[in-house]
Chains A and B, each alone.
Chain A
Amino acid sequence: MDFSYSEKEEAFRQEIRDWLAKHTKELPKWWFDRKLKRPDSDSREYHDFGIWWHKKLYDAGFVGLNWPKEYGGRGATLIEQVVFSEEMARAQVPGITNTIGIGWCGPTIMAFGTEEQKKRFLQPILKADEIWCQGFSEPEAGSDLANCQTKGVQDGDYWIVNGQKVWTSGGHYSDWSILLVRTEPEAPKHRGLTFFLLDMHAPGVTVRPLRQMTGAAEFNETFMDNVRIHKSMMVSERGRGFYVAMGTLEFERSGIGAAIGRENTVQDMIEMAKEMGKSKDPLVRQRMAQLYIEGNVVKYTGLRALSRQLHGMTPGPESGVMSAFGMEWNQRAYDFAMQIQGPYARLMRDSKYAIDDGRWQHSFLRSRGNTIETGTSEIKRNVIAQRGLGLPRE
């Protein structure tokens, strides 16, 4: 057991630090000064800002760290990815964009796609030249993903697709989507789905923003009305879609970055508590310390899961910790931030007395969605109990 880093890993850390020392100052002032106004998270301006920074990271070789070199990635080890996340969190700079493309769609294409698909799609994903979204959930298929109803009927070399997807994050900026379609209505529901790549600009695709409780519209409804998808856009085989989608979700769960950023949130919250004159309140101190400790639980348990992967073992039940517990941590943390603010907690952005331009209020509201997106906490606990602990299904 060894929690220290190798020389090679430390050299990589230095490379990142050197790069950040040079480029961090190019970021806009509002990024660092929490008193200044920042663009809305769902605005075009914010999106373009993300792409601008992403391309800088790409040019430096910091995008697609875990992607193999043959697909334009860095082929970095899991620990190097941890080092990168640590340094990005330490410098408090923005991360990459096109996260769904890089974290989910690209790896799915690499694992299940054709050579042609890999050639066509992987590079633009990395460069964020093409933004991707995910079309799994439907009104009748939330936690029960296999219940997808969007219908696909073969017509020569094409599939004619009709139906509706929902909670399509970033759909309004996306060029492409991964898509689950029912192509075999007679088959048992898990075996009747096929996985496609959908051109979001194709005729018949309509994206309608859904406004969240934050007031922003990060996600959408996506309607497909006789959309024609060429058969070359199928991933894996007919009827294998559910299993491909399960693979996609596995990629998502192996992320470590979020685990490391939590210390920053606690530090920011301590600063705020000091400014509010609350940092000597024993109850505030207890809860702050607890959040810090919990953040470290997620961090070290996540690193243990990663270490198991690194040594060729399947992650144990601890891998579920990061997703469920980490998401709930966000909610506890931002709820606590509201409590520290007392009466000021009610003030939103643009109010004269709003603290830090209302960013805590936004985080508080946004984090409410965290235990629903990427699988509800309840589903994640079922998974821990059934797959991790071996308890029987009902």
Chain B
Amino acid sequence: MNFELGEEQVMLKTSAREFLDKECQKKHVRAMMDDEKGYSPELWKKMAGLGWQGLAFPEQYGGVGSSFLDLVVLLEEMGRALVPGPFLATIVHTGRAILLAGSEQQKKEYLTRIANGDLVMTLALTEETGGIEAADINMKAKAADNHFIISGKKLFVPDAHIADSYVVVARTKGGVRKENGITLFLVDAKTKGIKVEMLKTMTGEKLCTVVFDNVSVPSANVLGTVDKGWPVVKQVLEEAIIAECAWMTGGARWVLETTIDYAKSRIQFGHPIGSFQAIQHKLANVAVEVEGCTSLTYYAAWTVTENDPNRTVAASMAKAWVSDSYKHATFEGVQIHGGIGFTWDHDMHLYFKRAKHGEIAFGDGDYHREKVAQLLKM
């Protein structure tokens, strides 16, 4: 048993930190908030050059062949730097789905291009209910000769405006058991009948509405098995949850460290405010919470790598804890910074907003606590 990062993981972490300190400074993050695309294709290519997009894909699909745990180490650094762009959407939400359910040909075609940095993808999953249960999937895909016709609306789809192609989750069969009758499709974004509308968001990250108006998708583009897509979605959601937790943990750690530094240097009443117990105890609490984020996220990532049966509960535990902790860290981060922490100029609000965004992504604390209660057979 060893809970420390391995030598290669430390190298990955260190090199990612150095690279992002240089290439993804806060002025870039801020510029992308107002940017039409919301990301820098140039930076995207540079990351691909470092092997980031393909990090956790097997070598035969152009990847590096590292583990999910390694990916989590990288995601933590990206979350710390608030890297704008479709990384989670492309690599985790869709890339992992293709890796899990794709045919050999689909894997070759899509994963190789993702790894090269040539393909941006996203998962069109949630609808107007905003939920992530099987019952929330109501968009219909009707089977015809050699193709399916998809009609309906997807909401809160990240980065759909720049995605070259989507994984679309749709209902191909009705019935009482909502888990049955869901199918995944690989859909080219330029297919006739697709309309994308960008939504203005709190973080500046791009969420979209994607309307499908009788969109025709060849049967060859079914990802996995018709009507049996839900188990794939479930597993992808678990991985997406853990990836989100890693991203958030990285941010929470930035908040903790930045606030500690400030508390050491800000002088009031002739002393650094960090010498006051009121401040020390706040920071001790945040530190405890952030350590918990790291512990539960790494444990959950390990269960994915090992295909451990505790994966489901580990993912929900991590998401519940990290959602609350990141939010609390940024709340106290602003408080300890005082007035400056409330300004637009200080970077703290970028994290404050990202914490709220992440809390809501793939279920908040309450949602995942209920999941845990179910898994405990309450």
Partner of A1, one of B3, B264, B277, B288: B3
How near does chain B come to A277, taking the closest CB pair, in angstroms? 12
The chain B residue with its CB closest to the CB of A321 is B288
User: Judging by beta carbons under 8 Å apart, are A270 and B376 in contact?
Assistant: yes
Q: A386 an interface residue at 8 Å Cβ cutoff?
A: yes
Partner of A289, one of B1, B279, B288, B372: B372
Rounded to whole angstroms, the CA-CA distance of A273 and B377 in the bound complex is 12
User: Judging by beta carbons under 8 Å apart, are B295 and A391 in contact?
Assistant: no
Given contacts A292-B376, A300-B296, A311-B4, contact A285 B288 (CB under 8 A): no
Partner of B320, one of A289, A321, A378, A385: A289
User: Judging by beta carbons under 8 Å apart, are B320 and A1 in contact?
Assistant: no
Q: Return chain B residues, CB-CB under 8 Å to A4.
A: 1, 306
Q: A254 an interface residue at 8 Å Cβ cutoff?
A: no
Q: B6 an interface residue at 8 Å Cβ cutoff?
A: yes
Q: Return chain A residues, CB-CB under 8 Å to B271.
A: 392, 394
Q: A209 an interface residue at 8 Å Cβ cutoff?
A: no
User: Judging by beta carbons under 8 Å apart, are B281 and A378 in contact?
Assistant: yes
Q: A339 an interface residue at 8 Å Cβ cutoff?
A: no
Chief secondary structure at chain B's binding surface: helix
Q: B285 an interface residue at 8 Å Cβ cutoff?
A: yes
User: Judging by beta carbons under 8 Å apart, are A300 and B288 in contact?
Assistant: no
Q: B369 an interface residue at 8 Å Cβ cutoff?
A: yes
The chain A residue with its CB closest to the CB of B314 is A296
User: Judging by beta carbons under 8 Å apart, are B372 and A292 in contact?
Assistant: yes
Rounded to whole angstroms, the CA-CA distance of A273 and B296 in the bound complex is 26
Q: Return chain B residues, CB-CB under 8 Å to A286.
A: 366, 369-370, 373
Rounded to whole angstroms, the CA-CA distance of A274 and B285 in the bound complex is 33
User: Judging by beta carbons under 8 Å apart, are B378 and A270 in contact?
Assistant: yes
The residue among A285, A381, A385, A392 with the most chain B CB atoms within 10 A of its own CB is A385
Give the residues from 335 to 394 in chain A that come closer than 8 angstroms, CB to CB, to chain B: 378, 381-382, 384-386, 388-394
B positions within 8 Å CB-CB of A: 1-6, 9, 69, 260, 263-264, 271-272, 274-277, 279-281, 283-285, 287-288, 291-292, 294-296, 298-299, 302, 306, 317, 320-321, 366, 368-373, 376-378
Given contacts A307-B3, A392-B275, A394-B277, contact A293 B295 (CB under 8 A): no
Partner of B317, one of A296, A301, A318: A296
Question: 29 A-B contacts, Cβ less than 8 Å apart?
Answer: A1-B6, A1-B9, A2-B1, A3-B299, A3-B302, A9-B1, A282-B370, A285-B369, A286-B366, A288-B373, A288-B378, A289-B370, A289-B371, A289-B376, A293-B296, A293-B369, A300-B292, A318-B291, A321-B292, A325-B288, A381-B280, A382-B284, A389-B280, A389-B287, A390-B260, A391-B274, A391-B283, A392-B272, A394-B277
Q: Return chain A residues, CB-CB under 8 Å to B296.
A: 293, 296-297, 300
User: Judging by beta carbons under 8 Å apart, are A311 and B2 in contact?
Assistant: yes
Rounded to whole angstroms, the CA-CA distance of A47 and B175 in the bound complex is 62
Give the residues from 74 to 94 in chain A that come closer than 8 angstroms, CB to CB, to chain B: 79, 82
Given contacts A1-B69, A296-B317, A320-B284, contact A391 B260 (CB under 8 A): yes
Given contacts A300-B296, A320-B288, A321-B288, contact A293 B321 (CB under 8 A): yes
User: Judging by beta carbons under 8 Å apart, are A297 and B321 in contact?
Assistant: yes
Partner of B376, one of A288, A308, A390: A288
Q: Return chain B residues, CB-CB under 8 Å to A32.
A: none
User: Judging by beta carbons under 8 Å apart, are B369 and A297 in contact?
Assistant: no
What 17 additional pairs, Cβ within 8 angstroms, besides A1-B3, A3-B299, A301-B295? Answer: A1-B69, A2-B1, A9-B1, A286-B370, A289-B368, A289-B373, A293-B320, A300-B299, A318-B288, A318-B295, A321-B292, A381-B277, A381-B285, A385-B274, A388-B284, A389-B283, A391-B274
